[in-house]
Chain A
Amino acid sequence: MAFKAIYQEHYRAILGTVSVLALIFLWELLLTFVIPLNPFFFTKPSLIAVAFQEQVIHGALWNDLAVSSRAFIWGFGLAILFGIPIGAVMGWRRRAEYTLDPFLTALYASPLVALAPLIIVVFGVGLFAKAMLVFLLSVFPFIFNTFAGVRSTDRLLINVVRSFGGHEKDLYLKVIFPSSLPYIVAGARIALGRGLVGIIVGEFYAASEGIGFAISRFGDTYKLPEMFAGILVLMIAAVALTEGMRKLEDILAPWRASQESR
């Protein structure tokens, strides 16, 4: 009885853990006893664990991670720096919206990643090209979410600030920014995913270091356990960042928890 109650309460966590463990065990057992393992084609969890230990805990992959993060932070930072003001102006000035909206929407809807080869040919394989790619992909969610956030600002609040003699600055800092913050954070989560795409494509395409480069190099040299370890690291990082962003979103705007567009 007690067991059943506990199960009812935590069934999601229990079943989730069970299914992950079951997959790992099945994978390991199948490739150990049933299917002969072809190391150039596939690998198994125990080998991945060894590679993971070697790459992550003993630090062979740290340098690659640091290189990727630096490019990512630069690109993402620039996206914030440009995206939020552009979005704010678009949301606040009707003519700015009319002027910029079709152009930016077209860019947002199109796969700008197609420009990657050109950017890399022009700017080289270093930090700059990758940061540029991240910027190009992640700036649009900031623009459009800030835009939506500013537009949804309560007119009443604005009128209150105005009637009490608040300056334009007060309007921006005390009303518009706080009320669009949840939107901006939601945009940041989308931008995050797109930025990661930028980093990976940049590093697959042409790089000499970085996590994407490491994964594709492991693939080229048939080091499958190492490759899976690299993928695992990237997955952990992506999940941590996304979930962190989601938590932030819940803190800033608990009433809009978990909207569409994941």
Chain B
Amino acid sequence: MNRLVNFYHDREHYLLGWGFILILLLAWEAIPRVAVLPRGLSLFFTTPTRVIEAFYQLIVENKIQHHFYVSSVEFLLGLALAIAVGLPLGLITGRSRTIDALVDSYVTVLNATPRLIFLPLFILWFGIGMWSKVMIVFIGAVFPLLINTHEGVKNIDRVLVDVVRSFGANEWQVLKTVALPNSVPYIVVGLRLAIGRAVLGVVVGEFFGASEGLGYMIASAATNYKVDVVFVGVAIFMGLSLILTMLVKNIETRLSRWRPEEIKTF
């Protein structure tokens, strides 16, 4: 008995956390077995086992692979574009006060606005194919990257810059040897935020005017009352976001052990 108590105390943290999730899932599974749901509700009801079954079915029938592929391509292309644009722009605005003052108002306004509002415009411009989604992913993910890179460059130790300068470095060398390496922790935080925005862009972009992708799969399943398929899609997005966030989070803690713990921001 004592051993059991000790066991519990040592692992209370995990036991309570995972236990709660497990209990919730079990309760969810049990509801339709113990209670009779009204006709209207049972139409929209599913259980974890049915979701897993639907997932298995979708994989076996090769119905999900293509959607998954399309969504991944959109996500990766959009994020790559955002990095390619956001990082250099952040470095430049961090180094040059003039350029910063010129673009700051656009960055502030666009960052405050939910960029999803541009979706109808992008569908008009880029069509209902892949590119409107890539663009919505891009515009969602670029600002966290830009702003965090900018912040990182702004916070470099002046002394370091002065040292490199006095050894005759030009602006490019300052960027390469001091600014970029020193802002890496900030960039990683930006990347984590950007991943969240990018996933959001993929999901919502595919809800409207798309004919493929996981978001489309969710939306069309919902209109056909295939609730289990909706949850398959949601679970995939959930799993991927969690894995990606944890991955970046790991890099982040490795790079910034000395920093105080910060509030969760996704």
Contacts and interface: CB of A to CB of B under 8 A. Distances in A.
Contact of A19 (B97, B102, B245): B102
B109 A235 contact: yes
B21 A118 contact: no
Contacts of B151: 260
B114 A261 contact: no
B24 interface: yes
Given A11-B97, A99-B20, A114-B233, A108 B266 contact: yes
Contacts of A243: 112
Contacts of A242: 112
A184 to B, nearest CB: 11
Contacts of A120: 222
A99 B19 CA distance: 8
Interface in A156-197: 183, 186-187, 190, 193, 196-197
B12 to A, nearest CB: 6
Interface stretch (A29-37, A44-52, A199-207): A199-207
Contacts of B245: 109
A238 interface: yes
B97 A118 contact: no
Contacts of B121: 219, 227, 231
Contacts of B221: 117
B125 A98 contact: no
A219 B123 contact: yes
A117 B203 contact: no
A225 interface: no
Nearest to A242: B112
Interface stretch (B57-65, B81-89, B163-171, B236-244): B236-244
A109 B241 contact: yes
Interface stretch (B31-39, B48-56, B175-183, B257-265): B257-265
Contacts of B147: 262
Given A16-B101, A118-B227, A227-B121, A98 B114 contact: no
Nearest to A198: B114
A215 interface: yes
Given A219-B121, A227-B120, A15 B20 contact: no
Interface in B78-115: 97-98, 101-106, 108-114
Contact of B207 (A95, A98, A116, A187): A116
Given A11-B101, A111-B200, A106 B207 contact: no
B119 interface: yes
A205 B222 CA distance: 12
A111 B223 CA distance: 20
Given A98-B12, A102-B17, A117-B222, A111 B116 contact: no
A5 interface: no
A174 B204 CA distance: 43
Contact of A114 (B104, B113, B215): B215
Contact of B119 (A117, A121, A204, A222): A204
B113 A111 contact: no
B218 A114 contact: yes
A113 interface: yes
Nearest 8 CB-CB pairs, A to B? Answer: A219-B120, A117-B222, A110-B238, A15-B101, A102-B17, A261-B265, A98-B16, A242-B112
Interface of A: 11-12, 14-16, 18-20, 41, 95, 98-103, 105-106, 108-111, 113-118, 120-122, 140-141, 144-145, 148, 183, 186-187, 190, 193, 196-197, 200-201, 204-205, 212, 215-216, 218-220, 222, 224, 227, 231, 234-235, 238-239, 241-243, 259-262
Given A103-B20, A111-B238, 13 more contacts: A100-B20, A102-B20, A106-B242, A114-B203, A117-B219, A117-B223, A197-B204, A201-B116, A205-B207, A205-B208, A216-B119, A235-B117, A261-B265
